[in-house]
Structure 1
Amino acid sequence: MVKTIPLFYILTFVVLLTHADGNVASLPCGGKIFVEDSVTQDDRILAFTLINERFEDVQDYLTVHDGVGKDSPSLQIENQMKYEASNKDLPSAMYTTSSVATLRSRGTRASVLQLKIQKAVLCPLNLGPNTACGRIVDEISCYCMNFALLSWDDQMIFCYDNGMKLVSLESYEEEQAILSTWNLQQWSSLSDLKQEGYWIWESTGTPLIPGYQNWEIGEPNSYDSEEDCVAFPQLSGWLDVPCNWGFPGTCELHP
């Protein structure tokens, strides 16, 4: 008999923990499961990471399977996939194809097992020719670079057409992760198109102030009303430039 273990009452998924022989198992004494948010969208998946351990070191004790069927396949570590762009320092993670998974344990172990389960987004290897994708900031989000030199409007449309949004920079760490992956001057979603001098992240509708800022010295200068969009280069801060200039762009998707 399989026992269902609800992790948190608002979650729309369940995690099942069974022994390989089908007998009911329980979490190790003192074991912890951290869930950051509920999974409500059909296109969201589960990301499994271990705290202070590697999956390779516990595979004889614990396996994660996709779905709830008896013959559900065990999950592979996604960082083994050859992403064109990825942060190699991120912890190894396993990902389901839906919001349900089965955990199967064998025997007992002396130490506490800490497994972190998070809501994640699907991340393709690319979005077509002249693009590259990867999990470059964290193990649950996805970033895709479109290397084509497009106007700000066309980069916004490209991201939306692929179910993503042109990047809105929320921290120095996020900006540096993107620039260290793709060393290019590129568009952000920041603009003051709607009101001169009032800068807003158009992808999220969030005003720039009081959030993170990284303007180049003397920027924004807005010598004329046509400098309404913002690009961020590798070796300096943000620049306000005409929106019809051509730059690459990074699309982002978060849980």
Structure 2
Amino acid sequence: MVRALEELKTNYTRVREQFLLHVAMKKEFNDLKARYNTLREWLSFYDAQSCNLSVNGRLACRGKLYLFSSDKLNWTSSRDVCVSKGADLVTITSQSEQDFLVSKIKVTHWIGLSDLDTEGRWVWVNNQTLTETGLQFWFTGGPKEPDNWRVQDPSGDNCASLGDGNGNFQSWFDASCKTVKKFICEKKY
């Protein structure tokens, strides 16, 4: 009986040490995971800032080529120009891409998002809806966007732009597709 008690105490001590080691390793793992995620965020920001200018005047970044127009066109003509270059209006797929694009503009630009087919159902030029992408950067600092304002154009605001005329470049705004703006084309490479 004494021997069994001693064996039980030894086993208990060994299991307790292993448990404490497991708890410590789990804490260290969670700390490392948090540091990894922070570093990954920093690197993604750094990558977005260090994209390279390609030979044909497009900006290469994370598997995409971007062309920032110098001309101002309506949304449909902007898209036509992009398509003629083997690209399309930009589709924003992440916070880091949004941040990168915002860092490159000083005036409002058309993006590849509209609700031309069905009012309130915003669809990217690649046919993905905002519901599918789960990503939205609509302006919320005043009258919330999209607001489908009809004063300038009775058909409403059916096309989206990055930024507005007041310098709010980090947000999306709906506007009349007939308005002329600069635009951003994108092509995957």
Shorter-chain TM-score range: 0.5 to 0.7
Asked if 1:204 corresponds to 2:135, the answer is no
SS in 2 for 1:250: strand
1:186 Cα deviation from its structure 2 partner? 0.4
The 5 Å alignment of 1:129-208 reads 133-135=58-60, 137-138=61-62, 140-201=63-124, 203-208=125-130
Measured in 2, the distance between the counterparts of 1:251 and 1:219 equals 23
The 5 Å alignment of 1:6-155 reads 89-90=50-51, 124-126=55-57, 133-135=58-60, 137-138=61-62, 140-155=63-78
Q: Which amino acid aligns with 1:206?
A: Q
Instruction: Report which of the two has the higher share of strand.
Output: 1
1:125 Cα deviation from its structure 2 partner? 2.4
Asked if 1:247 corresponds to 2:185, the answer is no
SS in 2 for 1:142: strand
Q: Which segments of 5 or more consecutive residues in structure 1 lack a partner in the other structure?
A: 1-85, 93-122, 127-132
Q: Which range moves more in the overlay, 147-156 or 170-179?
A: 170-179
Question: What CA RMSD, in Å, does the superposition of the two structures yield over aligned residues?
Answer: 2.1
TM-score (norm 1): 0.47
Of residues 180, 196, 216 in structure 1, which corresponds to 2:139?
Answer: 216
Taking only the aligned residue pairs, the percentage that are identical comes to 25
The count of aligned residue pairs is 130
Measured in 2, the distance between the counterparts of 1:197 and 1:242 equals 14
Q: Which segments of 5 or more consecutive residues in structure 2 lack a partner in the other structure?
A: 1-46
Q: Which amino acid aligns with 2:99?
A: Q
Measured in 1, the distance between the counterparts of 2:71 and 2:55 equals 18
Change (3 A) 1:176 1:213: same
Asked if 1:237 corresponds to 2:171, the answer is yes
Instruction: Report which of the two has the higher share of helix.
Output: 2
1:182 Cα deviation from its structure 2 partner? 2.7
Measured in 1, the distance between the counterparts of 2:147 and 2:75 equals 18
Change (3 A) 1:124 1:162: farther
Q: Which amino acid aligns with 1:143?
A: Y
Measured in 2, the distance between the counterparts of 1:213 and 1:155 equals 22
1:155 Cα deviation from its structure 2 partner? 0.4
The CA deviation string for residues 52-80 of structure 1, in whole angstroms up to 9 with x for no partner, is xxxxxxxxxxxxxxxxxxxxxxxxxxxxx
Q: Which amino acid aligns with 2:59?
A: G
Change (3 A) 1:173 1:238: same
SS in 1 for 2:139: coil
Report 1 or 2 for greater relative contact order, CA contacts < 8 Å, sequence distance ≥ 6: 2
1:184 Cα deviation from its structure 2 partner? 2.4
TM-score (norm 2): 0.63
Change (3 A) 1:163 1:215: same
